Amino acid sequence: MSGQTAADPDCIFCRIVRGELPSRRVFEDPDMIAFHDIKPIAPVHFLIIPRQHLVSLAECDEAHAPLLGRMLAKAGVLAREQGLGGGFRTIINTGRGGGQEVYHLHVHIVGGSRPLGAMLPREG
Ligand code: AMP
Ligand code: ZN
């Protein structure tokens, strides 16, 4: 599969998966882990990542559909557990143009004390 190796020794999220870097975990199972973002942009901000090193959504294909489905299916459950029963925002930044900084696929779950506004300003 393209964009995938078992692990990347230099990837910080692979290092978190292996326990070499600390994280404040909110969930883990054989497929994925979830942990709080180190620089939260809202009162609640955590990430869901696959244990396997997938670079980004751009490298995913049909073969990844079960894994991606399981990650998204966990989002609502974990969000509610973290106090986001009123709603949350789900963000997947992809590639340089998408503002991705860590090249190990991750889903941001963001929410907090007040409703979030529209995400992007309209152009023109
Ligand atoms: P992105 O721009 O989607 O690639 O975002 C990467 C996210 O990873 C940012 O929100 C960072 O704050 C977060 N991050 C980077 N290093 C760590 C870390 N060691 N533990 C938790 N979150 C991290
Ligand atoms: Zn990785």
pLDDT band at 104 (very low <50, low <70, confident <90, very high): very high
Global pTM reads 0.92
Q: Residue 63 is part of a domain; what is its CATH number?
A: 3.30.428.10
Within a domain: residue 115? Answer: yes
Whether 41 is in a domain gets the answer yes
Task: Yes or no: say if 53 and 102 are a contact pair by the CB < 8 Å rule.
Answer: no
Examine residue 35 and state whether it is found in any structural domain, yes or no.
yes
- Please give the pLDDT value at position 113: 66
pLDDT in tens, 27-76: 999 999 999 999 999 999 999 999 999 999 999 999 999 999 999 999 99
* pLDDT(124) > 60: no
Residue 16 CA, closest ligand 1 atom number: 19
What is the domain count for the chain? Answer: 1
pLDDT greater than 50 at residue 11: yes
Q: Is the CB of 41 within 6 Å of ligand 1?
A: no
| SS3 call for 67 | helix
What is the predicted pLDDT for the residue at 57? Answer: 98
Distance 85 CA to ligand 2 centre (A): 30
124 located within any domain: no
From the CB of residue 39, how many other CB atoms can be counted at a distance below 10 Å?
5
pLDDT at 1: 43
Residue 101 belongs to some domain of the structure: yes
Which residues are placed with Cβ below 5 angstroms of ligand 2, an ion?
Answer: 8, 11, 13-14, 53, 104
Is the CB of 96 within 6 Å of ligand 1? no
